[in-house]
Amino acid sequence: MTTFVLIPGAACDSWHWHLLEEELRARGRDVVSVDLPCEDEAAGLDEYADAVVQAVAGRRRLTLVAHSFAGFTAPLVCARVPVDLLVLLAAMVPLPGEAPKEWWRATRHPDSRVGRAGRDAQRAGADPAVEGLPESAVPGSAADPFFQDLPPGLAAEAAVRWRRQAETPAARPWPMEAWPPVATRFLLCRQDRLFPAPFLRTVVAERLGVSPDEMEGGHFPMLSRPAELADRLEGYSRSAAR
């Protein structure tokens, strides 16, 4: 049986996958939702990959689902354990030697204010009262680039669940020399405010040489559209198994 391995983005943990995990388990699927040491300033991308490898120990037929910043972590995992399929979900796509903090400028992100707001929110964690943060950096606000399409109650809980993101993994160069030889799919979200669809189409074409698949929703479709996302992941897994 395929095991779906859910790898969170910056400042997130397994809770941010919980609706998708419930959906997949209800369909009889095996799921591993990983928690990363995102608050640990001593932990870099290698330690993030170590956490995923430990979480999947003894399992086979792995489909990795990497959200957002996890685009820097998941390929490292593919180089350490056998992986059938890598699904990049609204994810960053790194180049060899590129530090995550350099990615925004290198990819020509169209709105430096959105990128800065995102990084500020991740560093601050869940506290919406952090002095000096712009409104767009506060998860669940009207200008939020993360949770804008969630029901108010779920958006509020997502804000409380936000973790502090250490800066260490963003400062170190991506250590791989090339993209790993694993089947890779990219799924973007058309209403994503953090990584707008036209921007990601260009990044994916330039860095992976493919056209991304697309679905409706904002940056967190695992919370806003878990059933639709589960349909997509099951379809990808079936195609990879042929």
Q: CATH number of the domain at 177, please.
A: 3.40.50.1820
Residue 151 confidence (pLDDT): 93
Largest CA distance in the chain: 53
User: Going by C-beta distance under 8 Å and a sequence separation of 6 or more, which residues neighbour residue 199?
Assistant: 107, 108, 109, 110
SS3 at position 71: helix
SS3 at position 4: strand
Residue 242 confidence (pLDDT): 72
Query: Which stretch of 45-54, 106-115, 188-197 has the lowest confidence by average pLDDT?
Result: 106-115
Mean pLDDT of 183-204: 97
Run of H or E including 156 = helix 152-161
Report the length, in residues, of the chain.
242
% of the chain with per-residue pLDDT over 70: 87
Which pair of structure tokens corresponds to residue 118?
Answer: 């995102």
SS3 at position 189: strand
Model's pTM, two decimal places? 0.91
Considering its fold, how many domains does the chain have in total? 1
Residue 123 confidence (pLDDT): 52
Residue 41 confidence (pLDDT): 97
Q: Are strands 62-67 and 3-7 parallel, antiparallel or unpaired?
A: parallel
The range of the structural domain enclosing residue 64 comes to 3-241
148-175 pLDDT, tens per residue? 999 999 999 998 999 999 999 999 999 9
6-30 pLDDT, tens per residue? 999 999 999 999 999 999 999 999 9
44-92 pLDDT, tens per residue? 999 999 999 999 999 999 999 999 999 999 999 999 999 999 999 999 9
Residue 119 confidence (pLDDT): 54
Residue 144 confidence (pLDDT): 81
Residue 120 confidence (pLDDT): 58
Residue 133 confidence (pLDDT): 38
